[in-house]
Amino acid sequence: MQITTGVQQDTALVVTGPPQWAGELTLREPPGPDATLLEMGRQGNVIAYSGKVEYGQGIRTGFSIAIADELDVPLNSVQLILGDTNLVPFDRGTTGSVSTKEVGIQLRRAAATARRALLSLAAIHFEIDSTSLGTSNGHAFSTGEPSQKISYAELLQDQSLRVTIPDDIAVKDAENFVLMGRDSQRTDAIARVTGQAKYSHDIFLDGMLHGKVLRPPSYGAILQNLDTSGAQREPGFVMVVREEDLVGVLCEREDSAVRALDAMRVRWQEVTELPTDSDLPRLLKDKARQIVLLREDGTPDTGFNHADHVLESSYFVPYIYNAPMETSAAVAFWADGKLTVWSGDRAPFLVRDELAKAFGAKEEEVRVIAPEVGGSFGTKGTYGVAYEAARLSKAAGRPVRVAHSRAEEFMWGTVRPSALIEIRSGFQSDGKIVAWEATAYHTGDRPNRGQRGADTPYNTPNVRIAVADAESPLNAGSYRSLGCAANHFAREVHIDEIAAALNMDPVELRLINLSHQRLRRALERTAESFGWSSGIRESVGGRGVAIGYDAGSYVAECVELLVERRGVRVQRVVAGVDCGMVVHPEGARNQIEGGIVMGMGTALREAVEFDAGRLLNPAFSRYRVPRIADTPNIEVLLVGDPTTQSTGAGEPGLVPIAAAICNAVYDATGTRVQRLPIVPQLS
């Protein structure tokens, strides 16, 4: 396996500057402002660097398009190096749908800086003022008479320049875009469909061993007795590693390691007094920690007292698996006291820092490389599998690969927190909402997960919103949109309940209470394209609507579905999304479509089943994610203003879809769904 160095032998121009990152979760102070962001070779080729990783969301393509457009070079001349801690600027991780917003704009500024430097070289070459020059397709040209043109490659011969992004650098306006805002084929499309793209499962080193780690059968189980003699008889067996809390077996082949692990005789002491999934949602309130008041405006009690109607409901969402198709895997090896790890992880710098801390090493002695990552959705954000591979490699003195089975991924990965949301609303007979009170209980130890999306976008003068985190019997962690989807499910179903109580059209009710211009535009455009009207329609199914916001973007979704004997078939979804200026429309649409399909799964069938510390459905045969056959006709409208800053497209599509589906089920059946998943309640 050849390790990328990332440094061009013929580098002629280097652009440095402060990388952009979302830094509140960094384990240390970020580096100084001299990180290398972009290089140009003497042939006019471009290499850009980012700490983000590519896990299917298309940022390699988006970044490449933005750089090529700002620098006026062919798209195929741009190469991105991502997620290698020895080569790229520090980044806390690829989370929160902020890659385009924060890093993309800085790479555009770096490209604009390189373009300015090239114009200066051309001005010297032509002996004219740089204001009389333009650029196109890897060339600088004079705009006056006589017309003159020179390639970037010619300008960069014999150059060795290093420039820093100036404060006054300007990027292109939308009307001057050549590539941005237009559909392009993904730059990594061929590599992905031909198998050239390398994931962590594809990393094989000379002399590499395969490791399997002994896992408890249930949460909290304690190892009582271990006999490894059976493992030692397995062909290809190399060694058993037993160090404090880690027991691992190493073999020459992965299948041998699986059999060797199974051949061990193990006795566990299990904890029996653990909850079952049926104990939820009661446990959410019983085990809640301190309630945090997020917002209190006006006088809610007075608002309720003066309301014509008061409605009170509670809503529940279960634990949800992140369920990426690619399970977690890492390859590690030690050489000359230094550790190199390939790990399919969305936060390679955080993995590096944790590994350095665990092994008492300096940060510069640990290198983490994130290859292609086959989905994350909020998981693959811990250093667990990388740490296990590194420990086993250190013990064996050889490279070691550790890859989770599907059962391990389900059992020991993270899950979306379960949540209970209680809402009370006061409203007038004309539809105006005058009082709103919501308290959300989310499992886990991170209250900020439950805060996301908890606020209401509606014009309510009297509001009280609070959240609390509760003890979790499962390993709750990040999930696409964090707690935003759960909070939106509760709020948008409740809004439909108000509409039903008043016999009012759900779109009309929302517009009466909504002055936020970007949300109104998304809702109006979506309803129009969907063909929403309050009159009689021919469809024998149901239709539903919901709106939402996340990652700085705004979305509205309309759904049409049929309720059948065996469940719910979503037939059509129209989504209007305002994510500001769109760099790569097809990439944005793909992200929104993916979020919608993923959210359909959480709405219709997905739920983690557990009892006494054991998972009961840790396989795709028993945990029903959406299949291709479940995918409806999806129409995505990008309704943002191109003069508005780019915001996230990876998560907004997921946020309102469960509520829209639940509202459509009510429209079709008259059954109000207030807890997920839907299908088990209809059977």
Q: If you ran DSSP here, which 8-state letter would residue 179 be given? A: S
Confidence at residue 25, expressed as pLDDT on a 0 to 100 scale? 36
Encoded amino acid at 482, one letter: L
Q: Is the pLDDT of residue 3 over 90?
A: no
User: pTM above 0.95?
Assistant: no
Q: How far is C-alpha 196 from the geometric centre of its chain's CA atoms? A: 24
Residues 181-238 have pLDDT tens digits of 999 899 888 998 999 999 999 999 999 999 999 999 999 999 999 999 999 999 999 9
pLDDT class of 534 with cuts at 50, 70, 90: low
pLDDT at 100: 76
What is the maximum span of the chain, computed from C-alpha positions, in angstroms? 87
The Cα-based distances of 371 to 4, 8, 176, 402 in angstroms read 11, 20, 34, 15
Residue 95: the pLDDT is 74
- Return the pLDDT at 244: 87
pLDDT tens for 286-296 read 989 889 999 99
Predicted local distance difference test score (pLDDT) of residue 535: 56
Please say if the pLDDT value at position 598 is more than 90: yes
Over residues 41-84, the pLDDT tens digits come to 999 999 999 988 888 888 899 999 999 999 999 999 999 999 99
State the pLDDT confidence band at 444, using cuts at 50, 70 and 90.
confident
User: Tokens 């805060």 appear where?
Assistant: 451
Task: Please give the C-alpha separations between residue 473 and each of 127, 204, 213, 218, 414, in angstroms, as whole numbers.
Answer: 72, 37, 23, 11, 12
What does the DSSP 8-state code read for residue 414? -
Q: How many percent of the chain have pLDDT more than 70?
A: 95
For residues 51 and 85, what is the distance between their CA atoms, to the nearest angstrom? 7
User: Phi then psi for 306, rounded to 5 degrees?
Assistant: -100, 0
Query: If you average pLDDT over residues 96-125, what whole number do you get?
Result: 89
544 beta partners: 559
From the CB of residue 194, how many other CB atoms can be counted at a distance below 10 Å? Answer: 8
What does pLDDT average to over the chain? 91
Under 8 Å between Cβ of 183 and 584: yes
336-377 pLDDT tens trace = 999 999 998 888 999 999 999 999 999 999 999 999 888 888
How do residues 79-103 score in pLDDT, each as one tens digit? 999 999 999 998 887 777 777 777 8
